[in-house]
Structure 1
Amino acid sequence: MADVNEKRLVDRFLQMVQIDSPSSHEREMADYLKKELASLGFEVAEDDAGRDLLQTLGDMRGAETIRFAGNLIARKKGTVQEASPVLFAAHMDTVVSNKGVKASIQDGVIRTDGRTILGADDKAGIAALLEVAQIIQENRLPHGDLEFVFTIAEETGLNGARLLDKKNLRAKFGFVMDSGGPPNVVIGASPTEIDFSIKIYGKAAHSGVNPEDGVSAIAAAGHGLSKVQMGRIDEETTVNIGVIKGGEKTNIVCDYVELWGEVRSRNKEKLSWEIAKIQTAFAMACEKVGARFEMEEQQIYSGFQLTESDEVVQIAFEGARKAGMNPQLAPRGGGSDTNIFNAAGIPCVNLGVGASKDHTVEESVSVKDLVQASQLVLGIVETVVERAGAEVHR
């Protein structure tokens, strides 16, 4: 296996985290990647996902001043015709702005000064892919067709991947570089997520003059919440109510409350059961105080479940072993673009890039994990070529 240029890899990562790219503001990052990918021999196309997303949300105010960015689809023709086309993906956006980030390396770990996030989620994944692309170019390594996809707005609900025209993708399987934790952990299972909103309607009244004429939506919400089990339900199911809004003044019996939450599970029956329990809890609570409620649900993404018998898992394992790692198959409780690709019929696993405490100002990534993530991608590319040779000579 060719060597990873550690200094170049780290320097490129540090350069990318200086590019501020919160969700729906990925233009500068997209422009940077277009230039880099072109220099590495890729043909790059950009779709209209940014504009499509705002149209979907129904808010085009000031659209004429917005420099939209779409998903990038970059392709490099393979040198081994028999090798299967392979997809690698990462997302360009960060969960919040990291403008003014000050990153440094201490004891082999890259972190910030604690004022901003680092942006390793997911620029660590992007850095690994660009490093491998450069290694392939410099060493003229044999490879099949490469298909790199860099999405927008992943952090706001996998929106870029959702709007991507998956029918245009040529790869039959793929690898998403976007999991926290070490690169040897292959994420082969992820839950389905259903988000819900609950609207509770009470009756307003003066809290000091005639409170008995009012119906408190807050009281109904409290009774309902007391019956809902939140947090980790079991090893594959979680429930959370994360937002509650209601009331205007302390001297008015509150007549309206709205709650937003989510249920995730890798088991569809458990998912339906938890949603039903929540609905029942608020129905009984509203009946108790004389309020009424409405509940709406929306599936955000569907789950997937892969095993060691799936080809994409086997290739990831072989690639990890080539990189000197002991691969492990594991589930994850979060969603990623991996969910969208699997739902579209493209078997994918999510691979660790070493990011730790992502989405916080304590986010970090080790140089060792950055290097190993790159070695893993390189190992996967080599494995696909070797499998093609074995198939030809069978």
Structure 2
Amino acid sequence: MPIDTQAAKDRLMRFLAIEGVTGKEAAIGRELAAALRESGVPAGAIRLDDANTRIPVPTETGNLIVDLPGRGAMHNHPRIMFMTHMDTVPLCAGAKPKLSGRKIVNAAKTALGGDNRCGCGVLVTLAAELKRQKLDHPPITILFSVREESGLWGARHVKTEDLGSPVMAFNYDGGPASNVSIGAVGADRWQVEIFGRASHAGVAPERGISSTMVLALALADVKAGGWFGKVVKGKRQGTSNVGPVTGGDGRPAGEASNVVTDYVHVRGECRSHDAKFARAITNAYKTAFEKAAKRVKNSDGKTGRVKFKAETDYYPFRMKDSLPVVKRAIEAVSAIGGTPNIRSANGGLDANWIVRHGVPTVTFGAGQNEVHTVDEWINLDEYDRACALALQLARTP
């Protein structure tokens, strides 16, 4: 019996209409729980964990976890997990989804939120179809995580004992359903405080130490050394970016143009599929800031100073093609008529942390296109294939 694609599309439109930017997932969590109950999932099988109490930034709610007992001939097979994230990037606030043929587009000048309402639609459809068609399947855990877009926080802080010990997991995120992502990039997040000395810029600029100038010199050095943007050093590759620049308490860096800036706070990130190279890029930034601070002196010979902090935000991984989870993924994509595209993602995924927790995880797309932009749209043919793939994965012995 085929999937009810009309119902699957209706769910997706329903979820797209609910705002739930990263950290503010309570409303979409309630909507997902309601849709699951309407699909026949018992209320007692749906729960929220307490990951939000461990996430170090404000988060409205915990991860949503659903437990489906096994059925029929597969009821005692090892447990598997399906997962996606329920938050969207802040640019999605105010989205107005509308149908346009076999696409969903946006009537507002915002991002649409297909990343990752598509994943949400796929997994609720999975639960609904297993119930509707009374299909045999192993025990299944479904995880809808929070704060993926702002640091993979929900997946990072989920308790593995809350997941029921799955032997493998299938994650839904961006791209076509035939993408079989068996690895992903890792990232360092860094921040630097630059301490200068305030002085009247029009009367005695020589007495000041400009933290803005320290920033400018450091970034010029990083750029000249080939450490900014796409970074290629021999066979090693990665990326880096400089993020927000603020003053104290998040205020603009230097609130008056006639005062030498005495403090600047900068954040950035460095990525690579090689964890050691990501750290090498980070260290290039650290060295540049420390060197620049020593170069900026006032008339008394005093210099600026910096306080640089870095941590691994998530770890890179690459699974072997021979793992059961990868073989199952390839077979399932082929079974629904697709051509598996085995790849490693250049962005971070919840899978980075779930693999770190000991559960091998493959990631698929669900029809999202131009994500995180005002041009975002959803391919409904790919979305339908993603729903069919989830059902195939659940039924594969």
- Do both proteins adopt the same fold according to a TM-score greater than 0.5, normalized to the shorter chain? yes
Whether 1:300 and 2:313 are equivalent positions in the alignment is yes
Whether 1:274 and 2:281 are equivalent positions in the alignment is yes
Q: 1:318 aligns with which of 314, 325, 331?
A: 331
Residues in 2 aligned to 1:126 and 1:226: alpha-carbon distance in whole angstroms: 43
Residues in 1 aligned to 2:134 and 2:279: alpha-carbon distance in whole angstroms: 52
1:256-311 Cα distance to aligned partner (Å, 9 max, x none): 22211011111122112112211111122111123211101122111211131122
- What is the SS of the residue equivalent to 1:40? coil
Residues in 2 aligned to 1:254 and 1:33: alpha-carbon distance in whole angstroms: 48
Q: CA deviation at 1:69?
A: 2.6
Q: 2:48 aligns with which of 32, 46, 49?
A: 46
**Which amino acid counterpart does residue 374 of structure 1 have in structure 2?**
C
Residues in 2 aligned to 1:98 and 1:196: alpha-carbon distance in whole angstroms: 26
CA contact (8 A) 1:77 1:146 kept: yes
Q: CA deviation at 1:382?
A: 2.3
Q: 1:176 aligns with which of 151, 171, 175?
A: 171
CA contact (8 A) 1:318 1:379 kept: no
Q: 2:383 aligns with which of 367, 370, 392?
A: 370
Structure 1 residues 263 and 211, CA, compared in 2 at 3 Å: closer, same or farther? same
Residues in 1 aligned to 2:237 and 2:137: alpha-carbon distance in whole angstroms: 38
Whether 1:78 and 2:92 are equivalent positions in the alignment is no
Runs of 4+ in 1 over 4 A off after TM superposition: 97-100
Give 2:4's aligned residue. 5
Give 1:331's aligned residue. 344
Residues in 2 aligned to 1:152 and 1:84: alpha-carbon distance in whole angstroms: 26
CA contact (8 A) 2:66 2:143 kept: yes
Residues in 2 aligned to 1:4 and 1:88: alpha-carbon distance in whole angstroms: 18
Q: CA deviation at 1:317?
A: 0.6
Whether 1:213 and 2:183 are equivalent positions in the alignment is no
CA contact (8 A) 1:216 1:253 kept: yes
Give 1:116's aligned residue. 110
- What is the SS of the residue equivalent to 1:330? strand
Q: CA deviation at 1:100?
A: 4.9
Give 1:345's aligned residue. 358
CA contact (8 A) 2:91 2:373 kept: no
Q: CA deviation at 1:112?
A: 0.7
Aligned residues: 372
State the TM-score, normalized to the length of structure 2: 0.89
Q: CA deviation at 1:99?
A: 5.5
Residues in 2 aligned to 1:360 and 1:276: alpha-carbon distance in whole angstroms: 31
CA contact (8 A) 1:191 1:236 kept: no
Whether 1:135 and 2:134 are equivalent positions in the alignment is no
Structure 1 residues 304 and 115, CA, compared in 2 at 3 Å: closer, same or farther? same
**Which amino acid counterpart does residue 278 of structure 1 have in structure 2?**
Y
Unaligned 5+ segments in structure 2 are: 247-252, 297-302
Residues in 1 aligned to 2:255 and 2:32: alpha-carbon distance in whole angstroms: 48
CA contact (8 A) 1:48 1:71 kept: yes
Residues in 1 aligned to 2:359 and 2:147: alpha-carbon distance in whole angstroms: 20
Give 1:230's aligned residue. 228
Over aligned residue pairs, what C-alpha RMSD do you find? 1.9
Q: 2:256 aligns with which of 249, 255, 259?
A: 249
